[in-house]
């Protein structure tokens, strides 16, 4: 497998990885992000993720689409947390009230270093970055790497690794949006979704987790048997109505890269994506933009025009002990893996 590359604007590079099955993954060192994921079907070749054609378009429209998110994905309430007996104040970039995705600009806006690895069965781009101590209020210097691998088994593998010189918080994710129809003007309502999760985290009007873990039983959040998303979008569930869809963490029953935790299936059943992860939770966001979505390659993104699987520890874990921990220690490397496997 060979990796090709071309200019992506403003000093960034686009890397293209293609396997023998015709699956093509394109990523850029701008924000260590996925830009395209082309999948062949019997009728056509589809781009099943949202993305733009240049750095300039990301800067003008949406910096989070497809990007690596950090230091801490999701929202930190009031931009404050206590760690090691000390209280820290982080950048309030969410309506000047809370910290969103680690502050801004953060991982999504940086040019990462890139290293390429090629072999017969897989190709990998390794992105690396140094986050300086005190950046957006977080303690400790952090060395981060994110590896994107495309295999001959049609897997896009995301491997995270980080090292810190001081006790700090770290909870990365990838903000990829899937639309398996390949058409951003077609909502994901008819996509079928499976999630192996018995509980989800409730959120308030500011999309901040409240600390409540609620059973999915008899709610719009029960995807333990695959079903169409429209059945939830049309429900009267208070948590769905609060944001016009989903923007919620699901606690996974069996976090492991040996276990399928989620499955998304296209309306025509020509494309299916399985999610395997060692992360304890996944934040599902259904692009609830209500007409305010970006224009992608000449087409306006419809409401519910994409869906994320942001594998991570549930946001709010810095406040709620039973959500898990996002503390990392010096001399103890952070490592995590998520696999998006394309099947037919």
Listing DSSP states for 190-248 in one string gives G-EEEE-EEEEEEE-TTS-EEEEEEE-TTSTT--SS-EETHHHHTS--HHHHHHTS-EE
163 is catalytic: no
Average pLDDT over residues 194-212: 98
d(CA 147, CA 161): 9
310 a catalytic residue: yes
- pLDDT for position 85: 95
In this prediction, what percent of the chain has a pLDDT beyond 90? 98
User: Would you list the domain boundaries of the chain?
Assistant: 3-343
* pLDDT tens-digit series, residues 264-304: 999 999 999 999 999 999 999 999 999 999 999 999 999 99
Judged against a pLDDT cut of 90, whether residue 2 lies above it is answered with: no
Question: Which single residue is written with the structure tokens 């910290």?
Answer: 99
pLDDT of residue 225: 98
Token output for 147: 């590896």
Which among 52, 16, 178, 171 is positioned nearest to 106, based on CA atoms? 171
Contacts of 260 by beta carbon, 8 Å cutoff, 6+ apart: 196, 274, 275, 276
Check if the beta carbon of residue 166 is closer than 8 Å to that of residue 133: yes
pLDDT by residue (tens digit) across 214-267? 999 999 999 999 999 999 999 999 999 999 999 999 999 999 999 999 999 999
Both tokens of residue 202? Answer: 């409730």
Residue 2 to residue 19: CA distance in whole angstroms: 8
Closest to 129 in 3D by CA, of 245, 31, 232: 31
Bridge-partner residues for 341, per DSSP?
155, 274
Among the listed residues 26, 108, 155, 310, the single catalytic one is: 310
> Mean pLDDT throughout 1-9?
95
Please state whether the predicted TM-score (pTM) of the whole model is above 0.95.
yes
Would the pLDDT of 18 be above 90?
Answer: yes
Q: Judging by DSSP bridges, how do beta strands 12-18 and 24-28 pair with one another? A: antiparallel
- Asked if the model's pLDDT at residue 1 lies above 90, the reply is no
C-alpha dihedral sign at 169, 170, 171, 175: positive
CATH topology of domain 3-343: Beta-galactosidase; Chain A, domain 5 (2.70.98)
- Judged against a pLDDT cut of 80, whether residue 187 lies above it is answered with yes
pLDDT tens string 142-186: 999 999 999 999 999 999 999 999 999 999 999 999 999 999 999
Considering 98, 101, 175, 191, which one is annotated as catalytic?
175
């Amino acid at each position: 497998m060979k990796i090709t590359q071309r200019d992506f604007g403003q000093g960034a590079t686009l890397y293209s990885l293609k396997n023998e099955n015709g699956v093509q993954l394109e990523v850029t060192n701008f924000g260590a992000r996925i830009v395209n994921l082309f999948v062949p079907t019997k009728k056509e070749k589809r781009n099943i993720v949202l993305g733009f054609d240049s750095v300039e378009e990301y800067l003008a429209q949406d910096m989070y689409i497809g990007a690596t998110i950090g230091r801490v994905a999701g929202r930190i309430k009031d931009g404050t947390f206590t760690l090691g007996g000390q209280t820290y104040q982080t950048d309030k970039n969410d309506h000047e009230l809370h910290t969103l995705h680690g502050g801004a600009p953060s991982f999504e806006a940086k040019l990462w270093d890139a290293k390429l690895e090629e072999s017969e069965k897989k190709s990998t781009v390794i992105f690396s970055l140094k986050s300086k101590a005190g950046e957006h209020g977080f303690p400790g210097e952090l060395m981060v790497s994110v590896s994107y691998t495309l295999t001959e088994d049609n897997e896009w593998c995301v491997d995270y690794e980080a090292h810190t010189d001081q006790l700090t918080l770290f909870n990365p994710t990838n903000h990829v949006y899937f639309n398996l129809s390949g058409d951003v003007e077609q909502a994901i309502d008819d996509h079928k979704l499976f999630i192996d999760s018995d509980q989800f985290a409730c959120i308030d009007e500011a999309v901040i987790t409240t600390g409540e873990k609620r059973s999915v039983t008899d709610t719009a959040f029960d995807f333990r048997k695959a079903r169409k998303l429209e059945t939830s979008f049309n429900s009267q569930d208070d948590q769905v109505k609060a944001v016009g869809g989903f923007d919620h963490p699901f606690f996974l029953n069996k976090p492991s890269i040996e276990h399928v935790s989620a499955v998304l299936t296209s309306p025509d059943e020509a494309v299916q994506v399985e999610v395997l992860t060692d992360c304890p939770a996944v934040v599902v966001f259904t692009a609830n933009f209500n007409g305010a979505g970006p224009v992608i390659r000449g087409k306006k993104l419809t409401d519910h025009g994409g869906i994320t699987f942001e594998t991570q520890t549930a946001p709010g874990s810095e406040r709620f002990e039973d959500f898990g921990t996002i503390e990392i220690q010096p001399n103890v490397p952070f490592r995590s893996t998520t696999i998006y496997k394309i099947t037919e």
